[in-house]
């Protein structure tokens, strides 16, 4: 199993697109295959590099959303308007095409079943991708560690992995809580605002010994949630964060 990796010491490799799946109107998942891929830890990411005919190169980082598996990985990509990389991945790239990638990268924002819990996962938008890798690994490992995912999306149609999350939630030790911040179905009975301290208090409940928190999403959300968790009594060392900004296209 791959662990922490330093980008400057990693070689670029080619991966073939085995499948392309539409997650939401603006988000796709790419299933990639590479004989050189040794696996990853849930929460790690890769660099993807595109090279134009004139030699110009553009590079972006994407979290791995699949559970660890040699030879296979999955990336979930949101189409960023005017982006250099994401429009190609979401609109142009097709099965059997090849991508240049480097990784896995990162050893801080990772979780395996051996790390235990309880787990609190908090995501905003496409920040759910590395947390989905953790949930898929949890299911594959048969872990029953108590886990809660609090997931903020703009609307019902923009919930990434919505149907799979519903299936995973059949596990009584996994709780999935959604909040929809811009629009919601007429019969929606869940949260309809951005994640705040009151919501965290209601969803996270009492702090249990050994609790771990992973927060991923836009910078504003991540910083606010981390602050609120510390206020609630989470030790800072038990809170791991990963953020992204508007330039990740």
Identify which has the larger pLDDT, 81 or 61: 61
CATH top class, domain 7-105: mainly beta
Q: Are strands 119-124 and 147-153 parallel, antiparallel or unpaired?
A: parallel
State the pLDDT at residue 146.
96
Q: What is the mean pLDDT of the chain?
A: 92
Share of the chain above pLDDT 70, in %: 94
Average pLDDT over residues 191-211: 91
Q: 188: which 2 tokens?
A: 């929606």
Domain ranges of the chain: 7-105, 113-244
- The DSSP string of 3-58 is ----GGGPPPEEEEEEEEEEEETTEEEEEEE-TT-----TT-EEEEEEE-TTS-EE
Average pLDDT over residues 147-165: 97
Q: Are 66 and 72 within 8 A, CB to CB?
A: yes
Average pLDDT over residues 161-188: 95
Q: Are 49 and 80 within 8 A, CB to CB?
A: no
State the pLDDT at residue 2.
43
Taking only the tens place, the pLDDT of each residue in 85-113 is 999 999 999 999 999 999 999 999 999 99
Assess whether pLDDT exceeds 90 at residue 83: no
Q: Does domain 113-244 have CATH number 3.40.50.1820?
A: no
Question: Order of strands across the sheet with 174-180?
Answer: 174-180, 147-153, 119-124, 212-218, 239-244
Identify which has the larger pLDDT, 113 or 210: 113
Q: Using a cut of 0.75, tell me whether the model's pTM lies above it.
A: yes
Q: Are strands 57-63 and 119-124 parallel, antiparallel or unpaired?
A: unpaired
State the pLDDT at residue 244.
76
Assess whether pLDDT exceeds 60 at residue 245: no
Assess whether pLDDT exceeds 50 at residue 7: no
State the pLDDT at residue 6.
46
Taking only the tens place, the pLDDT of each residue in 124-140 is 999 999 999 999 999 99
């Amino acid at each position: 199993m791959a662990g922490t990796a330093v980008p400057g010491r990693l070689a670029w490799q080619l991966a073939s697109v085995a499948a392309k799946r539409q997650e939401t109107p603006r988000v796709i998942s790419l299933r990639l295959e590479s004989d050189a891929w040794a696996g990853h830890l849930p929460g790690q990411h890769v660099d993807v590099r595109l090279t134009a005919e004139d030699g110009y190169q553009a590079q972006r980082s994407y979290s791995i959303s699949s559970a660890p598996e040699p030879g296979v990985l999955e990336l979930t990509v949101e189409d960023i308007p005017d982006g250099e990389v994401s429009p190609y991945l979401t609109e142009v790239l097709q099965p059997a095409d090849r991508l240049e990638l480097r990784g896995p990268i990162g050893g801080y924002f990772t979780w395996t079943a051996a790390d235990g819990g309880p787990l609190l996962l908090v995501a905003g938008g496409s920040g759910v991708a590395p947390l989905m890798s953790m949930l898929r690994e949890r299911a594959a490992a048969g872990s029953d560690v108590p886990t809660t995912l609090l997931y903020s999306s703009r609307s019902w149609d923009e919930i990434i992995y919505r149907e799979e999350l519903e299936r995973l939630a059949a596990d009584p030790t996994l709780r999935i809580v959604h909040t929809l911040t811009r629009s919601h179905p007429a019969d929606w009975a869940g949260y309809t605002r951005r994640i705040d301290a009151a919501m965290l208090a209601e969803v996270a409940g009492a702090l249990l010994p050994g609790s771990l928190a992973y927060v991923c999403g836009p910078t504003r959300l991540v910083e606010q949630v981390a602050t609120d968790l510390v206020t609630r009594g989470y030790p800072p060392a038990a809170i791991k964060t990963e953020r992204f900004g508007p330039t990740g296209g």
